[in-house]
């Protein structure tokens, strides 16, 4: 049978686990709602840009259709200006593209538009080619908008507005094709069977989509549309289209200019309504985001309060059993966090946990001793008992940073025992090791406590002198040179050393500083050894 404390722990664990699971699940759900609303807002913003691009492409198509017939200079200038507006809309979408992943499709569209314009300007394009190209690309953009908008998770009333906006976009597109096709009819005075069928079909599609729009749009936007549309222009345009589809001729007292102005006025009004619809949807989206964010905030606060209260209630039932264990865990966590194995576990209870704490402390004693010995061995050169290169780099890097921060002078002395290879070759490595030990001890005893000596490698040593300028370091190096000359070492006579002295430059690294000191030391060697050479600021 399980001990009572185990049963309590299991009960507490599963209670908290299920509570956390429920809180986390709801939090993810609410957070996803916020993310979805924000993502939907981005989609709506780009749809607005694409809607504007469609409007520009429609205008460009209509002007191109008329230009192909008349080649009027004034009309061509309008076409060029409209192309610039279209390019500006393309650029806006290119800079904030969400739908055109990798911008490959958009780049391809830009290339196609340029190619079509070149064909128009070189008189190689036909009306059918121009109409098919612009219509196909606009239909593709409309399809993109339809797919993106219908996949958004909006409320029912917003979905109606979205669908109404799509219908109005498509109605405007059909009216745009009618504007271009009938403009050509005004220019030529002729209407082919294909043109007749196309105009009839597009007019039917325009009426169909416009009726769908009226059914789904809210009263405020519909009233604005009715007020903004020129009723006389709308009536004239409808009558003109109907007369052309029935009689295949224009109404009296009409012209290309009047036709173009009336249709363009209607299309501009439709575009204004689209803008209002999207603005309403954006406003609703922002309200949804704000509501969801408030919901998320209060949910987090409520969930945290509930979690704290339940945790306190659960903990109070097991605290008497787990108090000692908590003390052990707390102490061990502190050891782990600080990596200080000198800390010890403290327990107040007098039970098995006290014995466990005693055993852990004994283990920490052993680990602490091993780590201290390891750090000591890792930081000194075993032969000379001075600092090794690895530990010196850490200290030197710190001193260089301090020097740069406070703009204090810092110098480095590079020491190399002269003719050390001959000593090893003549007297053997034991004598050579004795020379290195004596040399390191002599240098260590004759530098300040604030200075650092390191065995850099072989017979090379470095002295780092913080808050010491080049002149002071040169004087120190001269003193060390004389001390080395007077060393008494069995079998060795006239031991000498060459010294290179440098002072740190602004923002100079340890590697750069040691390289300059090394060069200065080699300069001392070339000058005849047993020399101190202080490098200038340009060296």
Residue 375 to residue 378: CA distance in whole angstroms: 5
Please name every residue paired with 237 in a beta bridge, in sequence order, or none if there are none: none
For residue range 444-494, list pLDDT tens digits in order. 999 999 999 999 989 999 999 999 999 999 999 999 999 999 998 888 888
388: region left, alpha or beta (phi > 0 left; psi from -120 to 50 alpha):
beta
CB atoms within 10 A of CB 6: 11
Between 267-271, 427-431, 461-465, 467-471, the lowest mean confidence (pLDDT) is in 267-271
Residue 125 to residue 9: CA distance in whole angstroms: 82
Confidence of residue 164 (pLDDT cuts 50, 70, 90): confident
Owner of token pair 């979205």: 162
Output phi, psi for 466, to 5 deg.
-65, 155
Confidence of residue 102 (pLDDT cuts 50, 70, 90): very low
Higher per-residue pLDDT: 413 or 370: 413
Q: What is the DSSP letter of 457?
A: E
Identify the three-state secondary structure at position 54.
Answer: helix
Contacts of 213 (CB under 8 A, 6+ apart): 164, 167, 168, 171
Confidence of residue 402 (pLDDT cuts 50, 70, 90): very high
Instruction: Output the pLDDT for position 445.
Output: 94
Question: Which CATH number is 389-534's, of 3.40.630.30, 3.40.50.920, 3.30.70.270, 3.40.1280.10?
Answer: 3.30.70.270
- SS3 assignment for 467-509: CCCHHHHHHHHHHHHHHHHCCCECCECCCCEEEEEEECCCCCC
Higher per-residue pLDDT: 421 or 216: 421
For residue range 25-65, list pLDDT tens digits in order. 776 776 776 676 777 777 777 777 888 888 888 888 888 87
Between 94-103, 135-144, 213-222, 278-287, the lowest mean confidence (pLDDT) is in 94-103
In the predicted model, is pLDDT for residue 201 greater than 50?
yes
For the chain, give the mean pLDDT: 80
Instruction: Output the pLDDT for position 364.
Output: 62
Give me the active site residues, please.
459
Instruction: Output the pLDDT for position 203.
Output: 87
pTM for the structure as a whole: 0.45
- The DSSP bridge pattern shows strands 532-534 and 497-503 to be parallel
Task: Check if the beta carbon of residue 414 is closer than 8 Å to that of residue 474.
Answer: no
CB atoms within 10 A of CB 28: 10
Identify the three-state secondary structure at position 218.
Answer: coil
């Amino acid at each position: 049978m399980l001990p009572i404390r185990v049963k309590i722990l299991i009960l507490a664990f599963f209670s908290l686990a299920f509570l956390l699971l429920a809180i986390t699940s709801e939090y993810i759900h609410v957070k996803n709602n916020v993310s979805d609303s924000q993502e939907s807002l981005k989609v709506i913003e780009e749809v607005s840009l694409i809607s504007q691009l469609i409007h520009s492409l429609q205008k460009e198509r209509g002007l191109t259709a008329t230009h192909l017939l008349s080649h009027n200079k004034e009309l061509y200038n309008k076409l060029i200006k409209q192309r610039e507006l279209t390019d500006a809309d393309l650029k806006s979408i290119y800079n904030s593209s969400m739908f055109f992943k990798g911008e490959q499709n958009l780049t391809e569209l830009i290339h196609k538009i340029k190619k079509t314009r070149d064909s128009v300007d070189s008189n190689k394009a036909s009306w059918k080619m121009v109409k098919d190209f612009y219509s196909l690309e606009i239909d593709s953009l409309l399809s993109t908008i339809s797919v993106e908008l219908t996949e958004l998770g909006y409320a029912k009333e917003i979905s109606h507005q979205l669908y109404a906006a799509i219908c109005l976009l498509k109605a405007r597109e059909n009216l745009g094709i009618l504007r271009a096709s009938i403009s050509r009819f005004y220019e030529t005075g002729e209407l082919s069977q294909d043109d007749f069928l196309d105009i009839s079909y597009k007019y039917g599609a325009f009426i169909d989509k416009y009726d769908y729009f009226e059914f789904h749009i809210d009263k405020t936007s519909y009233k604005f549309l009715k007020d903004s549309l020129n009723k006389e222009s709308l009536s004239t345009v409808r009558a003109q289209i109907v007369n052309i589809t029935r009689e295949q001729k224009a109404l009296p007292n009409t012209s290309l200019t009047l036709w173009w102005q009336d249709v363009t006025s209607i299309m501009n009004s439709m575009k204004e309504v689209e803008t209002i619809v999207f603005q309403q949807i954006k406003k609703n989206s922002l309200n949804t985001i704000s509501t969801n964010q408030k919901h998320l905030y209060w949910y987090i606060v409520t969930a945290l309060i509930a979690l704290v209260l339940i945790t306190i209630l659960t903990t109070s039932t097991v605290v008497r059993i787990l108090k000692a264990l908590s003390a052990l865990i707390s102490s061990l966590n502190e050891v782990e966090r600080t990596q200080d194995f000198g800390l010890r576990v403290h327990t107040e209870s007098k039970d098995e946990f006290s014995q466990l704490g005693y055993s852990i402390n004994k283990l920490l004693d052993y680990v602490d001793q091993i780590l201290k010995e390891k750090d000591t061995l890792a930081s000194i050169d075993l032969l000379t008992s001075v600092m090794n290169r690895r530990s010196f780099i850490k200290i030197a890097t710190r001193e260089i940073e301090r020097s740069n921060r406070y703009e204090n002078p810092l110098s480095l002395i590079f020491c190399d025992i002269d003719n050390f290879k001959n000593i090893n070759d003549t007297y053997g490595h034991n004598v050579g090791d004795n020379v290195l030990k004596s040399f390191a001890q002599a240098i260590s005893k004759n530098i300040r406590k604030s200075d650092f000596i390191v065995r850099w490698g072989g017979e090379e040593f470095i002295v780092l002198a913080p808050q010491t300028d080049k002149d002071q370091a040169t004087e120190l190096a001269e003193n060390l040179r004389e001390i080395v000359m007077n060393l008494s070492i069995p079998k060795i006579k006239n031991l000498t050393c060459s010294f290179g002295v440098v002072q740190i430059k602004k923002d100079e690294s340890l590697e750069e500083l040691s390289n300059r000191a090394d060069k200065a030391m080699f300069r001392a060697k070339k000058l005849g050894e047993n020399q101190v050479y202080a490098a200038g600021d340009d060296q």
